[in-house]
Every structure is written in structure tokens, then in C-alpha cells.
A and B are shown apart, each in its own frame.
Chain A
Amino acid sequence: MTEQEWHAALAQRHGRALQERFAAASVAVCGLGGLGSHVAIALARAGVGTLHLIDFDRVELSNLHRQQYGISQLGMYKTEAMQQTLAEIAPYCNLIMHRVRLTEGNLHLIAGCGIVCECFDDAECKAMLVNGAAEHYPEMYIIAASGMSGLYTGNTITARKLGKRLYLCGDGTSDIKDSGTLFAPRVMLCAAHQANTALRIIAGKLEV
């Protein structure tokens, strides 16, 4: 399959004008765990042109209950495993991998991305990224996630817009420290809201 054929198949599905917008977009996915692995795959499937994928961790057995990795990828860095997975799904997506822990000190890695998806699991890391991105990159759209743990109804997981450039997905309250664990479906619902919001922003639909 050539790159031209791949683009043509996407344009046939999405319409040429929209597909050109997707292809020109650059999105950072920060964290490739339960949220980020699903977000990255959804955006790559849609034909988003450039994905910056950031994670420092390796795939562990305890990840497989909710993250998009397989047995053969155990022990691999998530950046490498996701690169392998995306090569099967969207071989011409431009992937820029950063195998680092994202901190205030290296936030420049996401500079130039029009959209950043906050897909971390730690609450302080989430706040660090949202505040850091807003402060240093005021033109960037930020799609954050908070509250998707536990086996509660999926209907509380929503996307909402706060101010001009921040979108918040999740139920806002279900903390992993209270609910104990995460289940794939609610994590996927939250990740789907994040990916959907990213595609809508690229399409120029800024309201949720």
C-alpha cells in the first residue's frame, strides 16, 4: 500500500477538505497508558498527520487489562510498542517518540503542537502539564482527563470546555485511590472523548 493510496482511502471516508486538515495537524499525546494508548490509536486511525508520543515507561503485565498492548510487547518501552502497533494501523502517520518523563523542565518537547492530550495517571502530573502548557503555549488547545476509574456507570464520563482552550474529559471525581482500580471501558470512554475532542478542534468545531 502506498502513502497515496492510504491518504485516498481516508479522504474517501472523511472528505478531502477534512482529511487535509487532519493530515496537517500535530497532536501531542502525553502518557501512553490507559488513556494515551487509546487516544494515539484513534488519532492515527483518523489520519492525523503528526503525533508526538511521550512516555518513559515499559509495558507490564498489569497494564494489559486496559491498555492497547499485547503479550509480545511486555517489557518494551511503550513508545516503541505503540510505534509497532501504529505501523500496522497508520503506517504513514509521522510519529515523533519521546521516551522521557515529561516535566516542567522539558515541556518544550510539545512546542509546536496545536493540541496536547493530557493522558497521565498521576493527579499532580496532570495539573503540571495543564498549567505548564497553558502558561508557555497560550495558543495550544489542551485536552485533559480527570476521573474515569472504578466500575461506575459510563454515562458520567463527559467532555466539557473550560474557558477558551481547555477541555476536560472524565467524570471529574472518581479517584483511583478511592475506587481502587480502572476498567478498560470507562478508560476508553474517557480516551474516546479526548480523541473526539481533538478531531473536532482540528475540524474547527471548538464547542463540545
Chain B
Amino acid sequence: MIKINGESIPDAEKKTVMQYLTDTGYDPKRVAVEMNGDILPKSQYESTALQDGDSIEIVSFVGGG
């Protein structure tokens, strides 16, 4: 099972992080992705496939400060 932002997302398996982000409407320029405890470098979004047991948090930044 893959956990994304605390929820189990069964159909995310085998998708790359980039595919998941674009399929679900995230703007990759505004996100940070924490995967299994570390921030996933942006250069690895295309090459990192989601696998059973992965836990990720996607932070989508909003403006204001």
C-alpha cells in the first residue's frame, strides 16, 4: 500500500512521482515531496516510481508571507 498525505492510495503504484503529481493536479513548481523521511530532490521526480510501502507527503505551497 502507498500512503500519500496520510491516506492509502492503491492506484498510485508504479506511477512516477511526477506522473502522480500531474495526474492529481499539483503544480510541480510549487511542491516539495517528502518521501520515507527525506525531501525527494526535484531531479528525481521523473525517475522515482512509487512502490508498495512508500509513504509520501506532498506539500503544495500557497502564496503569502
Contact = CB atoms under 8 A, between A and B. Distances in A.
A177 interface: yes
B65 A31 contact: yes
Secondary structure type dominating chain B contacts: mixed
Contacts of A124: 29-30, 61
B65 A148 contact: yes
B34 A123 contact: no
Contact of A174 (B37, B39, B42, B62): B62
Contacts of B63: 121-123, 149, 175-177
B64 A148 contact: yes
Contacts of A42: none
Contact of A135 (B29, B31, B39, B57): B39
B57 A121 contact: no
A29 to B, nearest CB: 12
Given A162-B57, A166-B34, A131 B65 contact: no
Contact of A187 (B29, B42, B57, B65): B65
B26 to A, nearest CB: 11
Nearest to B62: A175
B38 A164 contact: yes
10 contacts: A31-B65, A121-B63, A121-B65, A123-B61, A124-B29, A130-B61, A138-B38, A148-B64, A164-B37, A172-B59
A123 B59 contact: no
User: For this complex, into which size category does the number of interface residues on chain B fall?
Assistant: 20 to 34
Interface of B: 29-32, 34, 36-39, 41-43, 57, 59-65
Nearest to A124: B29
A127 B64 contact: no
Contacts of B30: 123-124, 126-127
B58 to A, nearest CB: 10
B25 to A, nearest CB: 14
Contacts of B31: 127
A119 interface: yes
B52 to A, nearest CB: 20
Q: Which residue, A33, A123, A149, A176, has most C-beta atoms of chain B within 10 A? A: A123
B62 A123 contact: yes
Nearest to B43: A135
A36 B60 CA distance: 20
Contacts of A33: 65
B10 to A, nearest CB: 23
Interface string A143-174: 01111110000000000001111101000111
